[in-house]
Structures are given as C-alpha cells and as structure tokens.
Chain A
Amino acid sequence: MASGVRPRVKVPRSASAGETITIKTLISHQMESGQRKDSDGNTIPRSIINRFVVDFNGENVLDVKMEPAISTNPYFEFEAKVPESGDFHFTWYDDDGSVYEDTQTIEVS
C-alpha cells in the first residue's frame, strides 16, 4: 500500500506563544479491514495504518493507536499548544512497514 499514499495536513502558519491551535490531517489509504472477502470468497488480508504520531520540536502532541474500524482515508482533528516557533512532525505507520511523514513549520510571535 506504499504507492499512492499522500498526507494532507493543515497547520496555521503563525500563532502567538502558548496559543492552542487546531490541526487537521488527512491521508489517502485503503485501510483494508481484514473483514472483507474477494469475489472468490477469500478473506482480503488486513492492511491498515496502525499508528499516527504528532510531535512538535521533539515533544509529543498526540499518539493514536489505530484499528481497522478507522475509515478509509483516515482523518484526524485535534489541538496542540505552541510554546515557540518550530516544526510539527507527522508520522503514519503502515502494517507493511511503510512510514509516511510530513513536516509543517509554524512561526510564533
């Protein structure tokens, strides 16, 4: 599933120090549940993103354990505190070992 997976992340460009901001993320992924069968009646093996981690300047914001009940093209909305200027680092971990990453910079005034 490593092909065609693309993250989409919305982080404000700037904030004031200590402000709480809202972040939204989307990533394209089939999230094959392991519950479906193909036309021959064989179970399609599970293949999902099983973990999503958000860090800011090396400190953790959110760490999600994801199960097959998360919908195709996973979406998350959550809040983060921004103490200083820096980088948000987003990481999605795939069952197949693939890792998808994105980084967004925010300026704190």
Chain B
Amino acid sequence: MTDTSFVDLFALPGVQRSAWALLVAGVSLPVVGVLIIGLDVITVRFAVMHTALLGIALGLWWGVPPYGLALGMCAVLGLSLAPLASRPAGLSGPMSFVMTMTAAAALLVLSISGVNANGAFEVLWGSILATRPEDLIVLVVVAVAVLTMFATTRRRLALVLFDRELALCSGVSVVALTALALLVVCVSIGSAIRLTGALLVDSVTILPALAARNIARSFGAMVALAVMFGLVGNAVGFVAALQFDQPPGPMLVLVAGTITLVTFMPRRRPAIPALH
C-alpha cells in the first residue's frame, strides 16, 4: 500500500469513525482492565461474551434491538455477580457457570426461533472497521461512565482492590462499590466486543492494565499508565493495520502484547558495593 492511499483511507468516514472509536476505547477500556485484574475476574470476558450472544439471539427472536438487549443483559450479569464477590472462592466458579448456561441458552434460542445464527455470532467476530455511528455513541457513553466512576471513587476503589476487609474496616461501602465496578466491567466489555470481536477484546482491556501493573507503584499511576499503553497500542495497531493492509484486530493484539512483554523484561538493578 502506498503512502497516498494510506492517507486517503483516513479520509473515509468509516475509517475516521474507527479511529475515534479506538481513541475513546484507548482512554476508557484500560481502566476497565485495571478493574478486571483488581477484582480477579479475568474470565469475565467469556461470561459477558456468551451473555451478549444470548441477548442478541433473544433480540433477533423477539424483534427488539439485539445489541441493546445484549448490553442490558450484561448489566444484569454484573449486578447479579456482585453479591458473590465476597466469597473466598471468588467469582471464577459463578462466571464459568454463567458462561456455560448462557451459551447453551443462546444455542437453544437460535435453534427454537430459527433466526439467522450468523447475525448472532457476528458479536464474536466484530471488527473495528465495521464500527457504526451508534456503536461509537455507546462507546462514548460507556467511556464517560467509566471515567466518572473512576474519578469519583478512586480512593475507595484503590482500597477495595488492595484489601477488601481493610476497606470494610475503613467505612467503604464495599458491596455497593464492587457491584458498581462489576456493572461497569460487564457493560464495557459488552460494548467493546463490537470493536475487536469478543475473542480479541483483551487487547484493549486487560493487556494495557497488565503492562501498567508491572511498572506502577500506586493505583493512580497504574490507571494512568494503562490508559497511555491503551492509546499507544490502539494508535500503532490501527495505523499498522492500514499501512500493511492487515485486519486490525490481530494487529491491535500484537502491538498491545508487545508492549506488555516489554514491561515484563527485567530492569537494571542498582550496583551492589563490593565487600572489603
């Protein structure tokens, strides 16, 4: 691809929309990634993915906006998981249960209703270049919600993610805050899977947060670094995809993965003075 055609691509409204979507996602979704790591719900993606699939299948069957119903069901999932978060065993078990049951329910709904399964499964293979204006609006709304939640609860959230019991003993409403965080996480992932597809959504959520955790010393620094890595990863990945005429999803993952790998590299240790 020549430089001229690369620049020309950015003149296309669809590409511009995709770039805006990645910009918005780069600012907000790494914050969600930080929450996912802090709440130890890395498998939440699978539960959300299948819940969204069920929502879309039901939406197509009932003739209601499928994507809206999917997001609503993701919100219900987040809120219903919250009471289980205080269990010592954590949320992995309940999420695996939800993942399996919703996948089965979605397949049953598709079979019973006879709706076009391709329309439902589209959610698993979303593409940034297929971003619609309404997807961008949803992303912006979610981003505002994520950043507002972070700005208003930052200190309390940091304590909850550090030590849940210490937060309880410090007067923090741990249950309510956990429910809010899970709600934000589930809805954000539900909205993000349109960008990269459910299978690659980690590149815009968890990978920047993982990279940031390797470097940051505080919660605030971790969030700031995660956002920075998210923006850089999205920008470089998207430009590389256009430049080399490759699908954006894998390019985004490769760039985010490379950034994360670099942060795992050992740093130079200070010199140890010799003993005499």
Partners in one complex: no
Seen from chain B, the residues whose Cβ lies within 8 Å of a Cβ on chain A are: none
Seen from chain A, the residues whose Cβ lies within 8 Å of a Cβ on chain B are: none
